[in-house]
């Protein structure tokens, strides 16, 4: 490899890169490479292949990169991309030349690309090696974007028969060197002519898999933490008169003593109304009118208004959404629908299918702005930490602070459990009711509670699994650190409520039992059993050994207890 001179055709990278060969006819767009990723700070980005339509985005992206990053990329000043550069960086064959971009709010924040080469560094169409190159916008460096892109471009390369990446980096570009060295792949490093030469095999290793899972855990935990520890909350849909859903949430936030700022938002407020009375909090007609940052938005508007609300929140920089709205906008009836003699659908009810597609569209839109969603059809979230005191939910009286984390998919069951915890004098660290869990799910909460120092016991009510394999992996890891007690409903086919964004995974109940046993999960048969077990584990230290003494005033009850102990091993 040689050092790139300013007159050479540049690549969007932080280091030198040889000019790849001109390719033949470009292949079909690989839509299966698109993905949403959660970044180190809990925000999100959309990863997808770069296309010829991205020319304007690429030019704008490059203009936002600092001169220092451009120098690391070219080893010399290169202030702008020529038309030839732009064409090369946006036209790929998706086999020997591939470019991916990470986008937030529809704009590039980072790019990565590889070009297949032979052993001498020349462009080749049949080699198992490729040169890889990154460029991350300075404002987004440190968010783990490059690490996430490396995972994706490595998976793409393996799919295309590439087994090894090579790269050249200036020694001063320590951030990029760290991205490569921390990835966990088997690698070789050399130094010549003032350049660090890196080679690493793309075959996953135990270390690289652990790195990816650790990155995933930190990112997903951080994304939930951002939702549960906001410094400011906007309740969108807070009605002008008491009794509305949004107005109730405002009251619950204030009654709980939320330590941050609360804003009421409703587009029907008069233009001259700036305070919501009698609460005395700021009132706005839209989130865009709020002059301060907003961390969390609670959405309580009709279904057909949710999309404009997401756009308004995204443009304002809101970090996350709790969508209380249930149902979905009903599309106009299709011609012939419901006509006499029309055949009945052979799949799920149309309303359920429409609801799932609407939920997916909400998630895609929110993640395009870097936001995550709890809901729709959520009951809300509660964080009883003294420094937060958040009750952004429809629960009128939150329980006392305690050491239990509680997750439910059902709002009704969530209400019943919270009421029972309150009456029993128990306490929670935090509570999330995810409703239809279009985005944030139980897996995300397991990631968060695993490292949460305020949570000693995790209770979960689940109606379905979105990703059983991932749940098993995460549950095993968390159950080894703290008790995980789960009630799983839907033992029989068709028992899962319609409208979940993730279709029900039909797993036999015996398999669920085995899955829980292998993961170390305590399975409760009813929510009452789950709560009993959770409170016991929260208030009673676990025994140090297997020795049991039975004390009582009835020999019969003592004998039953004796039998139960032996039966349980």
Which tokens hold the place of 556?
A: 């019969």
Q: What is the pLDDT of residue 270?
A: 92
Nearest to 390 by CA among 377, 376, 374: 374
**H or E segment to which residue 556 belongs:** helix 555-567
**How many Cβ atoms from other residues are within 10 Å of residue 200's Cβ?**
23
Query: Running DSSP on this structure, what letter comes out for residue 104?
Result: E
Kindly report the number of other CB atoms within 10 A of residue 43's CB atom.
24
**C-alpha–C-alpha distance, residues 15 and 243, integer Å:** 60
Phi, psi of 422 (to 5 degrees): -60, -45
| Token couple for 569 | 């091993």
Looking at the whole model, is its pTM more than 0.85? no
DSSP string, 424-452: HT-EEEEEEE-TT-SSS-HHHHHHHHHH-
**Dist CA 309 CA 37 (whole Å):** 22
Compute φ and ψ for 51, nearest 5 degrees: -125, 165
pLDDT computed for residue 498 by the predictor: 53
d(CA 415, CA 420) in angstroms, rounded, equals 9
**229: which strand partners?**
none
- Structure token digits, residue 197: 């030469």
| Sequence-separated contacts (24+) of 331-335 with Cβ below 8 Å | none
pLDDT at 101: 97
Name residues whose C-beta falls within 8 Å of residue 338's C-beta, 6 or more positions apart in sequence: none
Q: What is the pLDDT along the chain (569 residues), one digit of tens a residue?
A: 333 333 333 333 322 323 333 344 457 899 999 999 999 999 999 999 999 999 999 999 999 999 999 888 767 777 888 899 999 999 999 999 999 999 999 999 999 999 998 765 566 666 789 999 899 999 999 999 999 999 999 999 999 999 999 998 889 888 888 888 888 888 888 888 888 989 999 988 888 899 999 999 999 999 999 999 999 999 999 988 888 899 999 999 999 999 999 999 999 999 989 999 999 999 999 999 999 999 999 999 999 999 999 999 999 999 999 999 987 776 543 333 333 333 334 444 455 447 888 999 999 999 999 999 999 999 999 999 999 999 999 998 888 999 999 999 999 999 999 999 988 888 999 999 999 999 999 999 999 999 999 999 999 999 887 778 899 999 999 999 999 999 998 665 555 555 555 555 567 778 888 889 999 999 999 999 999 999 999 988 778 888 999 999 999 999 999 999 999 88
Q: Which two tokens stand for residue 355?
A: 């609801």
CB 198 within 8 A of CB 170: no
Token pair, residue 105, equals 């709010």
Give the integer Cα–Cα distance in Å for 256 and 251: 9
| Whole-angstrom distance, CA of residue 354 vs CA of residue 356 | 6
For residue 363, give every residue at least 6 positions away whose Cβ sits within 8 Å of its Cβ, in sequence order, or none.
Answer: 36, 373, 438, 439, 501
d(CA 151, CA 219): 14
> What is the chain's alpha carbon radius of gyration, rounded to the nearest angstrom?
27
Residues 6+ apart with CB under 8 A from 119: 127, 129
Could you tell me the two tokens for 146? 């490059």
CA 514 – CA 518 distance, rounded (Å)? 6
Peptide bond into 136 cis (omega under 30): no
Between CA 538 and CA 351 the distance in angstroms is 42
Q: Which domains does the chain have, with CATH numbers?
A: 31-204 (3.40.630.30), 225-329+351-539 (3.40.50.261)
pLDDT for position 425:
86
Cα dist from 10 to 110, 134, 348, whole Å: 16, 12, 52
Please report the DSSP string for 109-133 in residue order: EEEEEEEEE-TTS-B-SS-SEEEEE
User: Which candidate, 462, 410, 454, places its Cα nearest to that of 430?
Assistant: 454
Bridge partners (DSSP) of residue 416 are none
The secondary element (H helix, E strand) that includes residue 404 is: strand 400-408
Compute the CA torsion angle 283, 286, 287, 289 (nearest 10 deg): -70
Tokens 């700070």 found at: 41
Pairwise CA distance, residues 91 & 54, whole Å: 10
Tokens of 230: 């906001």
């Amino acid at each position: 490899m040689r050092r790139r001179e300013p007159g050479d055709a540049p690549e969007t990278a932080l280091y030198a890169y040889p000019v790849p060969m001109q390719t033949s006819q470009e292949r079909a767009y690989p839509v299966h490479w698109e993905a949403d990723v959660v970044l180190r700070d809990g925000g999100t980005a959309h990863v997808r292949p770069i296309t010829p339509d991205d020319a304007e985005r690429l030019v704008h992206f490059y203009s936002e990169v600092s001169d220092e990053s451009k120098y690391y990329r070219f080893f010399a000043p290169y202030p702008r991309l020529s038309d030839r550069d732009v064409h090369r960086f946006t036209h790929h064959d998706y086999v020997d030349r591939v470019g991916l971009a990470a986008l937030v709010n529809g704009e590039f924040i980072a790019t990565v690309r590889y070009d297949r080469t032979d052993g001498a560094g020349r462009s080749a169409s049949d080699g198992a090696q490729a040169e890889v190159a990154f460029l991350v916008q300075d404002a987004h460096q440190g968010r783990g974007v490059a690490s996430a892109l490396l995972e994706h471009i490595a998976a793409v390369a393996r799919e295309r028969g590439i087994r090894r990446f090579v790269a050249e980096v200036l020694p001063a570009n320590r951030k990029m060197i760290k991205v490569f060295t921390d990835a966990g792949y088997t690698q070789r490093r050399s130094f010549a002519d003032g350049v660090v030469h890196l080679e690493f095999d793309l075959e996953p290793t135990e270390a690289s898999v652990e790195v990816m899972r650790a990155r995933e855990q930190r990112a997903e935990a951080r994304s939930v933490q951002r939702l549960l520890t906001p410094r400011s909350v906007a309740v969108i849909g807070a009605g002008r008169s008491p009794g509305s859903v949004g107005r109730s949430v405002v009251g619950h936030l204030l009654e709980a003593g939320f330590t941050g700022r609360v804003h009421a938002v409703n587009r029907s407020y008069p233009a001259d109304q700036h305070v919501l009375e009698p609460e005395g909090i700021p009132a706005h007609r839209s989130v865009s009118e709020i002059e301060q940052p907003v961390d969390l938005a609670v959405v309580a508007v009709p279904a057909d208004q949710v999309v404009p609300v997401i756009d308004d929140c995204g443009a304002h920089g809101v970090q996350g959404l709790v969508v209380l709205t249930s149902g979905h906008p009903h599309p106009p009836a299709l011609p012939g629908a419901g006509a006499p003699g029309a055949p009945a659908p052979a799949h799920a009810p149309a309303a359920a299918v429409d609801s799932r597609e609407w939920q997916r569209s909400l998630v895609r839109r929110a993640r395009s702005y870097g936001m995550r969603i709890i809901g729709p059809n959520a009951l809300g979230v509660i964080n009883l930490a003294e420094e937060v005191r958040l009750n952004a939910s429809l629960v009128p009286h939150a329980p006392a602070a305690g050491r239990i984390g509680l997750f439910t998919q059902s709002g009704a069951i969530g209400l019943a459990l919270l009421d029972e915890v309150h009456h029993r004098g128990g306490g929670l660290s935090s509570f999330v009711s995810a409703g239809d869990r279009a985005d944030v799910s139980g897996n995300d909460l397991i990631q968060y509670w695993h490292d949460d120092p305020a949570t000693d016991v995790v209770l979960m009510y689940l109606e379905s699994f979105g990703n059983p394999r991932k749940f098993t992996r995460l549950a095993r890891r968390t159950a080894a650190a703290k008790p995980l007690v789960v009630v799983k409903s839907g033992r029989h086919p068709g028992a899962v409520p319609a409208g979940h964004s993730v279709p029900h995974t039909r797993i036999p109940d015996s398999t669920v039992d085995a899955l829980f046993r292998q993961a170390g999960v305590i399975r409760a048969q009813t929510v009452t059993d789950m709560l009993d077990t959770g409170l016991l584990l929260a208030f009673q230290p676990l025994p140090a050994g297997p020795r049991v003494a039975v004390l009582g005033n009835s020999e019969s009850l003592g004998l039953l207890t004796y039998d139960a102990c032996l039966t349980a091993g």
